[in-house]
Amino acid sequence: MLIDDLKRKPLSKDINHNITELKNILKDCTDVIFREIIMDGPIKPQRMMILYTDGLVDSKNINEAIIKPLNNYSPPNKKPRILKDYPIEDIKRIINVNEIEEIDNFGDILQQIFSGNTVLFLHGSKEALNLDTKGWASRSIQEPSVENVTRGPREGFTESIRENTAMIRRKIKDPALKIKEMNVGTRSNTFLFVIYMDDIVNQVLLTRVIKKLQEIQIDSVFSSGYIEEFLEKYTYSPFPQMQLTERPDKACANLMEGKIIILLDGVPQALILPINFFQLFQSPEDYDERVIFGNLTRLIRHIGFIIAISLPAIYVALISFHHEMVPVRMIVDLAQNRVKVPFPPVIEALLMELTIELLREASGRLPSTIGQTIGIVGAIVTGEAAIRANMASPTMVIVVAITAIASYVLPHYSTTFPIRLLRFPMIIMASLFGAFGITITWTWIIIHMCGLDSFGYPYLSPLAPLDSDLLNDAAIRRPLWKLWKRPKTARKNNVRWKKEK
Amino acid sequence: MKKLLKFLTLFVALGLLTSCWDAKNLEELLIIYTVGFDVSKEDPEKLSITVAFPTIIEGAPKDKAEVTTQSPSLGGGEQNLQNKVYREISYGNTRVVIFSEELARKGIYHHIDSMLREPLFPATSRFVIVNTRAIDLINYDPPMSLFVSEFLFDAVRQSNRYTAVPFTTLRNFNHQLFTDGIEPALPYIVYDSEGESITINCIALFFEDRMVDIIRDDMAMAFMLLRGEVNHGFITAPLPEDDKHHLTISLTGGHTKIKTSVKDDVLYINQEVIINADLSEFTRVDSIFDAAMLESFEKIMEDYLDDLLSTTIERMKKNRCDNIGYGLHVRANHPDFFEKDEWCCLFLDAVVEAKSDVRIKKVGISH
Amino acid sequence: MVLYGKYKDGEITPIQSYIILISIMIGTGILGLSRIVAAVSRQDAWISVLVNGIFISIIMAIMVFTISKFKELNFLEYVCHLLSKPVGYTITIGFIAYSILATGTIIRFVSEMIGTWFLPITPIYVISAITVITTIYMTRKGLTVLARFNEVIAFMLIPFALLVFVSYTELNFVYIKPIGGSGIKNIMAGVVPSFYAFGGYEIMMIVYPYISNKKKPILKYSVLSMLLVTLFYGGTVFFHIALFGPDEIQRVLFPAINYIGAVDFPLVERMEIFFTVFWSFTVLSTVALQYMTANILLQSVFKNDKTSLYAYILSPIVFAISLIPKNTVDVAEMGDQVGRLTIFFSMILPLLLFFTYLIRKRRAIKK
């Protein structure tokens, strides 16, 4: 039976009935502990039962704050005669837990004990008490592993969702910062927080996102990728329509642009939406470094994007079609290198690219220390051996190496996938039609990107549709004191601060 | 519908994949770096075309090779050449085209037409004339470069920078050929086959597509000055009344102004060549920090150059062809007076005066 | 649902409409423009182009003025409103036919160009098919997406425009002189051939109803973008004549491409191939816009929701049209004939609409 169904099942007044029912549901769930407490009642000893999941609770807290006060309770002299048992209100006074809530159905009980709370059953009450005793071992806050920066805060999100919201709250001390709780996955029952700035976010967007989140039909959610696919419109597009970040400062900066952050329990990354294409090239560092260098690095990332997609294709086109474009001083060396290789340039390029992709996958799977070694050794040894064995020309190896380096310029790892993917059709088209093939493929890519939108916001904005206000902070950024307007993702006519004229 | 279309696209793509019509890999090509044209020895009516290409295969006995064929023109020769080699010939990287003097005197337009039509033939490949047979020059092993084309390319460029020869590409030649009022001029290479050395300081003057004259050394430089291509280089003038000592200037740049006027049906062309220069040699021990002295130097230089310029103009008048391009200015300024078919006669009758204006800027750091 | 900005799907911003104007005009015409015009008005070809540009800007102003009176109506509706229903439908269907024909012709032209410079052996139908498939992909998502694409491409036009200056060192401005020397009659005669290069701006009549924010000064900016194109064309022709001279330019098929090949580049040889790559982007957007015109008009005739259906249906027709000409000469002839049709749709039709509008207005006032 699903928890959602059990939510419709109320508790009975009889504690024994409730316990049997629960024991039945939780049969063989050895991690769930039932502990009986007998306390001195008004007339006779009062029977109670607490229920919690071992490992998710702070057992010291349970002992100190729940069991000890109940056991040691000595009833006051003036005994109420009418009551056989203490009512729930009295019990609440005895227990020293910071958060107490009454719940009245089996579904909620299960949900609470699985999220680390303790549930206390009283005899004769239709309600049970939900006591906050969460306390499981979690990773301490660490430096983000992928989005490193040299300057700026070094904390990253952790698996514990509460700590994550705390990190955001610490940065934005504003009541307009709303953290809306939701629940996804019929079986995993994962917590999900929708975080937004109430007076900046576009309300239409917000309701749409919440509606979409509610409509998600899935049994379990273990990572943000699960809900990403349900939320986005163009699942088959290689380009991500949401951004992932493990940096609270980045998440907060996006909140201030009217974007929505989705945090998922147990996932140390936050989802940012809506986004545009140029955002994928931005890193918090850009705003920390001096304006000129911040812009320079952004420019380099854009160039890297173009190089990573088209360089092998350009090489193939030059070698098989437009040799007259190669400077004469180079052409003899190129030809000498090529003459020993038995494959046509396409096959050579595809083989080498495939090798690089294999290496990348392999080094990612291995433990990080070995992974790096494998990566470097693999690249050097394979490259060297391929040249020695006349399987590839040295130029090809250089081209592939530059391409591989260039494809990592994007600040977030998962956004490098479109680059790696698009390279292959580009190579094939270049081998068929030379430079014209590259033109055609770029046309396809650009038109595809023009047709994309992220939650209603054009993907290539602010370039297309052109928006001079927004170009302030896209491929290049202007000084921060000029960025007083918020992007169009925010509510209309929303400014960061009033500009003094 | 959409699925069908996707399948269709895929199908077309697969169909295309199986055949790449134009893919010609670099190593499957015969990359020509030089083309040489000679008059055929067997049949004077025919042409002997030589192409030179690198062998690229490692361990081949020679780094480069040449192939020669006889044919009436390049268009016809292409087939013969192709039959003699084992890879597809590509003219896309031709850097230098060499004509022998003998052929150039007969006219070369027939042979370049096919170069002009072929889009892949580089429009910037250099044209040169050689005094011997072109094939000899192609066989020449330049001491500091693998290919003779690279060597000639750099050498011609260097000579051009020193105001010795013009810089004529395929496009330039075609342009000067088909534009009324200017005739082509090409660098002329003197190749000494015994001493295995090359000198580039002569200019071949053309009338239409036929070579008519050669001018050398000082006169070649004067020609370049008249054309307004004042780059670098040295000019040495003898000092009047003093044979032992010299005056040399090093050019730093300059330009030319051409003024034309028609008076009583007579065409007057006045040209002024402005030369900026530094003093580079003055072998007398006199101090030169004297304005009058410098002025006198400029005067000496100008007198010397004026002589040279007028001799050069006379030489061109003798050939009845205007290689400088005065016609362009006449056409621009007096469109009614200019007649394109009779320009050579008009040029002959015109009064052409060239004056030089030397401006010495620096005198050197010690003297 | 689109949250961004004010406009709905299928609409475009005013800026996009100007960019559409520029990018549909800069296309196939630029390649041979200077040759065609210089054949008539020789060294004054650039004046012809400028005169034509000003003339067309006036027509543009008239066109936008007229249609801005019918903000809520699309092309079919306002033509029907002004010229009665049967005439309106005839003109619209004529326009559709013309657009399809023009698309086919341009596609053939592109294939021909690509075939000459990039892929000489690849069958023309393959290049044509690839272009048609790309066109479908570009147009199937409607005008908004295509307009965005053009915005991206517009940034690519900047290096494209800069390539005009590459041969600066080779220019000789004496060819431009005498300014106005070919006579007013010839200059005016040169306006006619230069008109073909400007064809395509009639798209404003079709896209105007789709502009979201009509409060912006669309008239002013659309005339300005016409003048921008005029300036670009005028400058290009001016530079071309300064390089080739009025004589040689007539022997060059596509001066715009040869112009770039006139000088050597330090890093990349054969800059003209680079140019052709840039050029194919702009010409692809021209093709797609022309095709889009037909789709939008068909949509308004049959009152569908989407244009994507027509993008698929029309493609075989366009493909077939692109295969009609047998050789390069045929292509040029077909281009001329389509150019004649352009005169009707881009000059006579706007004037016709304008005068009908004036007459109707006067009548209304009288009543």
A97 within domain boundaries: yes
C118 at interface of A, judged by CB pairs closer than 8 A:
yes
C72 within domain boundaries: yes
Whether the per-residue pLDDT at A92 is higher than 90: the answer is no
Whether the per-residue pLDDT at A196 is higher than 90: the answer is yes
Nearest by CB: B23 against A321, A332, A340: A321
The mean pLDDT value of chain B amounts to: 84
Per-residue pLDDT tens digits for B248-261: 888 888 888 888 88
- What ipTM did this prediction achieve? 0.92
Evaluate whether A436 touches A221 at the Cβ level (below 8 Å): no
- A214 and A342 assigned to the same domain: no
pLDDT value of residue C8: 53
A144 within domain boundaries: no
Put simply, the answer to whether A456 touches C4 (Cβ < 8 Å) is yes
A487 within domain boundaries: no
Element (H, E) at C280: helix C271-302
Residue C297 maps to which CATH number?
1.20.1740.10
Q: State which residues form the domain around A185.
A: 161-275
- A270 and A181 assigned to the same domain: yes
Concatenated DSSP letters of B185-201:
EEEEEEEETTTTEEEEE
Is residue A318 classed as helix, strand or coil in its secondary structure? helix
Whether the per-residue pLDDT at C1 is higher than 60: the answer is no
Best of B153, B156, B331 to disrupt the C interface (most C CBs within 10 Å) is B331
C2 within domain boundaries: no
**Domains contained in chain C, number:** 1
Spatial separation of the C-alpha atoms in residues A170 and C253, rounded to whole Å? 69
Spatial separation of the C-alpha atoms in residues A103 and A110, rounded to whole Å? 11
Please compute Rg for chain A using Cα positions.
30
Pure H helices in A106-174: 106-114, 161-171
Q: Pick the closest to residue B89 from B63, B113, B67 (CA basis).
A: B67
Is residue A70 classed as helix, strand or coil in its secondary structure? helix
Among A98-102, B20-24, C21-25, name the one with the lowest average pLDDT: B20-24
Per-residue pLDDT tens digits for C306-352: 788 888 999 999 999 999 998 888 888 888 888 888 888 888 999 99
Spatial separation of the C-alpha atoms in residues C28 and C197, rounded to whole Å? 7
Whether the per-residue pLDDT at A6 is higher than 90: the answer is no
- Strand bridging mode B266-282 / B351-362: parallel
A153 within domain boundaries: no
Element (H, E) at A296: helix A291-320
Q: State which residues form the domain around C48.
A: 14-356
Q: What is the mean pLDDT of residues C217-238?
A: 91
pLDDT value of residue A21: 87
Q: What is the mean pLDDT of residues A78-91?
A: 70
Per-residue pLDDT tens digits for B246-297: 888 888 888 888 888 888 888 888 999 999 988 888 877 777 777 888 888 8
The mean pLDDT value of chain A amounts to: 85
Q: Pick the closest to residue C28 from C134, C130, C133, C111 (CA basis).
A: C111
C292 within domain boundaries: yes
Residues of B with CB under 8 A from a CB of A: 16-17, 20, 22-27, 29, 31, 33, 54, 56-58, 90, 92-93, 95, 120, 122, 146, 149-150
**Domains contained in chain A, number:** 3
pLDDT value of residue A1: 66
C1 within domain boundaries: no
Nearest by CB: C3 against A202, A322, A327: A202
Per-residue pLDDT tens digits for B143-185: 777 788 888 888 888 888 888 888 888 888 888 888 888 888 9
Is residue A179 classed as helix, strand or coil in its secondary structure? strand
pLDDT value of residue C121: 84
Q: What is the mean pLDDT of residues C177-195?
A: 85
**3-state DSSP helix/strand/coil % of chain B, to nearest 5:** 35, 35, 30
Whether the per-residue pLDDT at A494 is higher than 80: the answer is no
Tokens found for residue C310: 């027509």
Residue B253: what are its φ and ψ, rounded to 5°? 145, 180
Those residues with Cβ within 8 angstroms of residue A442's Cβ, 6 or more apart along the chain or in another chain: A310, C281
Instruction: Please tell me which chains touch B, using 3 or more CB pairs under 8 Å as the contact test.
Output: A, C
Q: Pick the closest to residue A318 from A446, A421, A445, A438 (CA basis).
A: A438
Per-residue pLDDT tens digits for C7-56: 455 788 888 899 999 989 888 888 888 898 988 888 888 999 999 999 99
Put simply, the answer to whether A323 touches B92 (Cβ < 8 Å) is yes
- A250 and A331 assigned to the same domain: no
Nearest by CB: A450 against C114, C119, C145: C145
Evaluate whether A384 touches A360 at the Cβ level (below 8 Å): no
A424 within domain boundaries: yes
C147 within domain boundaries: yes
pLDDT value of residue C54: 92
Residue identified by tokens 């034309």 is: B260
- A359 and A414 assigned to the same domain: yes
- A94 and A216 assigned to the same domain: no
How many CA atoms lie within 13 Å of A334's alpha carbon, on the beta-carbon side? 24
- A268 and A311 assigned to the same domain: no
Distance from CA of C35 to the nearest CA of A (A): 25
Evaluate whether C57 touches C211 at the Cβ level (below 8 Å): no
A151 within domain boundaries: no
Nearest by CB: B25 against A332, A344, A433: A344
Q: What is the mean pLDDT of residues A157-167?
A: 89
- A122 and A167 assigned to the same domain: no
pLDDT value of residue A82: 65
